[in-house]
A and B are shown apart, each in its own frame.
Chain A
Amino acid sequence: MSELYLPDSMLLAAEKPGRYIGGELNSVIKAPGEYDIHMAMCFADMYDIGMSHLGFKLLYHLLNDQPGVWCERVFAPWPDLEDKMRAGGYKLFTLESQTEAANLDMLAFSLQYEMSYTNVLNMLDLAGIPVRAADRDESHPIVFCGGPSANNTEPMADFFDFYNLGEGEEMLPEILETYRACKQAGLGKVDTLRKLARIEGVYVPSFYDCEYDDNGHFRRLSPKPEFADVAPARIRKRVVSSFENAYLPDKMVVPNTEVVHDRIMLEIFRGCTRGCRFCQAGFIYRPVRERSPERLTEVARKLIASTGYEEISMLSLSTSDYSRLGELTDKLLEITVPQRVSIALPSLRLDSFSFELMEKVSAVRKSGLTFAPEAGTQRLRDIINKGVNEADLLRSCRIAFEGGWSTVKLYFMLGLPFETDDDLIGIADLAHKVLAVYDEVHAGRKARRPSITVSVSTFVPKPFTPFQWAPQISIPEIRRRQDVIKQHLSRRVSFSWHDPETSVLEGAISRGDRRIGNVIYDVWKAGARFDAWQEYLDYGRWMAAFEKNGLIAEDFNRRERDTEEPLPWDHVDIGVTKRFFKRELERAKQGIVTPNCAAQCSGCGVQTYGRGICVGQIQDPVQ
């Protein structure tokens, strides 16, 4: 057992010392002779959040299952503790061996959301590592990243030595083998990166130059001449060769202190057939691939035995689209019921089949049901390609109310392209119709007061979606539209909304180019950290950093981009083509719905991977 890095006096004064001590069941300790690569998976938020991400935990175990690799975990200390650490000269440390992160060979960051970017810089700095890749040399760890928000590589390009674009299960073993060969050969940092750049899916930002036009807009990103032999013009994301057989750990770290998602997570399929036009996850995780109930049940059995968790949650973007959901549920119930393990089915589309399923697993207490119509009118739902119609929704609510439910949460987005005030009023109308169904079901009887909540988030246009060219609305306009909904909403419906500043900043960063790096650097220098936490976000500080760098945030988030304009993420090939996104944008303008992949292939381009649902699809069927 290693000594703890921080003294008792600091740990006892921290909010939850359990976050900093490691030693959890199934965490991995290796002896000195057992490894020649010492690395860490890093999460740019606190323990409670990072330990709730399946991908983070999965890759941790995958890395530790590679021969000769010891991968530890590093999280951002909560500010109460960080301040004391800095005052006492303490550095960022790993949980397992409780050593300083700067002593490791490699640090791998999982980038999940833009508002965690300042934490990446802050963690590197706390580790005593120069935050800019250009300022690091052979004495420092190699710092790289992957994850959904890494797909637009540019805003954080100054800070990472390289990017892992695509599925880590496929790429990381190759990356580590190459790194080991470089380390054994005694190669310097640039030569190591040259070798890594040859791996498909690896992007080394320092090997590329960016150009901007006279209007200050991004024009081109291209390999520097001296690296043209190793740096490809476009980097194609990697996907696992077989999703069915892809690595799945049979054990998982079990936190000693409660985290947000504290249960077994079973990823039943990856990708989404729906193609909602606002949803980045729906495109970047394509092709759609399922795992068999047999494999999933086997993994669930092993995970129950190794973790003792009391709950299993099925994980995917839209659980109802799993083709063998009933069969999987039955198979799981066979092993979970005798062991008193419950099954959670989040992300269900609520039809009668789902209600049967929920009854069967008794997963949902009769307290909360959620629906995500996303937009208030059929016109706008068609524009965003959200295949929900009002009649279905009201029918589901009726079944739910008749079954004893009385709490319904309706999720919407505000600020969608082509949205008008009628669509906002439509949100209120829809909520009132749900209320009317409740009253009708309980007519003439004494009934519990229903709890109907309308929750409205603000649309953020994201790269790799048909709306990647769309303008975002301004902060005052977001407030005005929130007010429109509020004014039309009955007092019997509660209303919750998102802070506009966060959405607008996300908008500016997520579609940013490499120049945003200086903004992130300056705002961090000015004290920004934990921006994803509203109590720490300072919008004025961000605006000052934009100004200092001669950049205008509106240029990135509010400007409507021409579909012919070069985009800062054009060099990343996620399989889905720009041509498809343009076509989808056109169809959105015309309010034409695109069928889901299971019904008909729309030729998004990802068929070229020849995996999952795409197998056997022709190249480009929809014109």
Chain B
Amino acid sequence: MDKYRIRFSKTGRAKYISHLDLLKIFTRMARRTGLDLVYSQGFNPHAELVFSAPLPLGMTSEAEYLDMQLEGPANEDELLGMLSGSLPEGIVPLKIRHLEPGEGNVMRPVAFCRYRMELSFPYAAFREIFPEKLRRCLEGNEPIITAKKSKSGVKNVDIRPLIHSFGEDFCSIAEHGCVFTAVLAAGNEANLRPEVALRGILDEINGVDAAETVETCENGPDGERISCEIDRVHKLEYLDGACVPLW
């Protein structure tokens, strides 16, 4: 019995495939390619597949993980070749590695995730002032209070401690808006969903400096005026005091 970890991307149309449907998709892929998956014992055997934490519907990702158990060893490159082209459009295996006995499974809590956020603004004027506003907001110390759902209901919390950092080129101007990356808490202990972070930041920007804001601009990402595409780029863990991407 051999364990393999796959990192795959889920982009394009596939962002609308739900987490529940992924299990079937990979089980069927294994049957098509002749991969000998290990099945559970019992009355209703199922393939032993373990996915990383679910990605919200509509979000793309370059960093989804799956641990699968095979009945026997396989060549990693061949395995990658088999998987490529055998999955629905938008789900692409990126790399595969053999797991050593005792290695923790993929559900082991990560510390942070890095997201790439692409904002589209209809107003050129706002597009140009946005990066500066964003920088000022993030360099400040004021709490960023935003409504956040938790098990006990919706609460207003300060999300600033959950925002680890932003990319170095932290906000570049794209064709219709801006692109920036953000590293946010992810995992069981502290978690900040990127769309919640974005809403909080946009609220904050408007709140701090309402006079400069284009009046009709709504605080996306759900609003009609600002739209946003969020892509999970990496999962990160703490190693020796630094935040490093998970394999």
B28 and A23 form a contact (CB under 8 A): no
How distant is B140 from chain A, measured CB to nearest CB, in Å? Answer: 31
* CB-defined contacts of A308 to chain B, threshold 8 Å: 27-32
Interface SS majority for chain A? loop
Q: Assess whether A307 is interfacial by the CB under 8 Å rule.
A: yes
A23/B90 contact (C-beta < 8 A), A11-B58, A307-B28, A340-B39 known: yes
Please give me the residue from chain A that is nearest to B32 by CB atom.
A308
- In the complex, whether A257 has a CB less than 8 A from a CB of chain B is yes
| B-chain residues with CB within 8 Å of residue A339 when the two chains form the complex | 31
B82 at the interface (CB under 8 A from A): no
Residue-wise, chain A 124-154 has the 8 Å CB interface mask toward B (1 for contact) of 0000000000000000000000000000000
Q: What 1/0 mask marks residues of chain A from 313 to 354 whose CB sits below 8 Å from any chain B CB?
A: 000000000000000000000000001110000000000000
What CA separation (Å) do A25 and B25 show in the bound complex?
10
Chain A residues lying within 8 Å of B128, measured Cβ to Cβ, are none
Among residues of A, the one whose C-beta sits closest to the C-beta of B11 is A1
**Complex contacts, B14 vs chain A, CB 8 Å:** 23, 256
Q: Which of B1-41 contact A (CB under 8 A)?
A: 12-14, 16-18, 21, 24-25, 27-32, 39
**Docked-complex contact A9 and B27, CB < 8 angstroms:** no
Given A1-B12, A8-B229, residue A18 in contact with residue B17 (CB < 8 A) = yes
Interface bits A1-29 vs B (CB < 8 Å: 1, else 0):
10010011101100001101111110000
- Collect the chain B residues with CB atoms within 8 Å of residue A310's CB: 27-28, 31
What is the CA–CA distance of A309 and B12 in the complex, to the nearest angstrom?
A: 24
Chain A residues, CB < 8 A from B12: 1, 23
Decide if A305 is an interface residue (CB 8 Å cutoff).
Answer: yes
Instruction: Evaluate whether A17 and B57 lie within 8 angstroms (CB atoms) in the complex, with A254-B28, A340-B39 already known.
Output: yes
Pairwise interchain contact A256-B31, C-beta atoms closer than 8 A = no
**Docked CA distance A1–B28 (Å):** 22
B88 contacts partner chain A, Cβ-Cβ < 8 Å: yes
Q: Which residues in chain A, 575-598, are within 8 Å of chain B measured between CB atoms?
A: none
The answer to whether A12 and B57 touch across the interface, beta carbons within 8 angstroms, is yes
Q: Would you list which residues of chain B between 126 and 174 have a CB under 8 Å from chain A?
A: none
A306 at the B interface (CB under 8 A): yes
Interface size on A, residues (CB 8 A): 29
Partner of B16, one of A7, A11, A306, A340: A11
Contacts of A9 in B (CB 8 A): 222, 224, 227
How far, in Å, is A257 (CB) from chain B's closest CB? 6
Q: How far is the CA of A369 from the CA of B18 in the complex (A)?
A: 33
Are B32 and A307 closer than 8 Å at their CB atoms?
Answer: yes
Asked if A258 is at the interface of the complex by the 8 Å CB criterion, the answer is yes
B21 engages A18 (CB within 8 Å)? yes
Give the CA-CA distance A340 to B27 in the complex, in Å. Answer: 11
A1 close to B57 (CB less than 8 A): no
Bound: A7/B57 CA distance, A? 14
A12 to B227, CA, bound (A): 12
Q: Report the separation of the CA atoms of residues A379 and B17 in the bound assembly, to the nearest whole angstrom.
A: 53
Q: Given A24-B88, A340-B39, A257 and B17 touching (CB < 8 A)?
A: yes
B204 to chain A, nearest CB (A): 23
Kindly supply a per-residue 1/0 record for chain B positions 38-53, scoring 1 wherever the CB is within 8 Å of any chain A CB and 0 otherwise.
Answer: 0100000100000000
A306, B88: Cα distance in complex, Å: 12
Closest-CB distance, B70 to chain A (whole angstroms): 14
Say whether, besides A4-B13, A8-B58, A340-B39, A23 and B32 are in contact (CB < 8 Å).
no
B17 CB contacts on chain A under 8 angstroms: 18, 256-257
In the complex, what distance in Å separates the CA atom of A605 from the CA atom of B13?
51
Q: Does A44 contact B (CB under 8 A)?
A: no
A321 CB → nearest B CB, Å: 31
Q: Please report the C-alpha to C-alpha distance between residue A9 and residue B226 in the assembled complex, in whole angstroms.
A: 11
A12 and B89 within 8 A (CB): no
**A/B interface sample: 30 pairs, CB < 8 A:** A1-B12, A1-B90, A4-B13, A8-B229, A9-B222, A11-B58, A12-B58, A18-B16, A18-B17, A18-B18, A18-B21, A20-B16, A21-B16, A23-B12, A23-B90, A24-B89, A25-B28, A25-B87, A254-B88, A256-B17, A258-B24, A305-B32, A306-B32, A308-B27, A308-B30, A308-B32, A310-B28, A310-B31, A339-B31, A340-B45
Report which B residues bind A (CB closer than 8 A).
12-14, 16-18, 21, 24-25, 27-32, 39, 45, 57-58, 87-90, 222, 224, 227, 229
Chain A residues in contact with chain B, CB under 8 A? 1, 4, 7-9, 11-12, 17-18, 20-25, 254, 256-258, 304-310, 339-341
Extra pairs beyond A1-B13, A309-B28 (20, CB < 8 Å): A1-B90, A12-B58, A18-B16, A18-B17, A18-B18, A20-B16, A21-B13, A21-B16, A22-B89, A23-B12, A23-B89, A24-B88, A256-B14, A256-B88, A258-B21, A305-B32, A308-B30, A339-B31, A340-B39, A341-B31
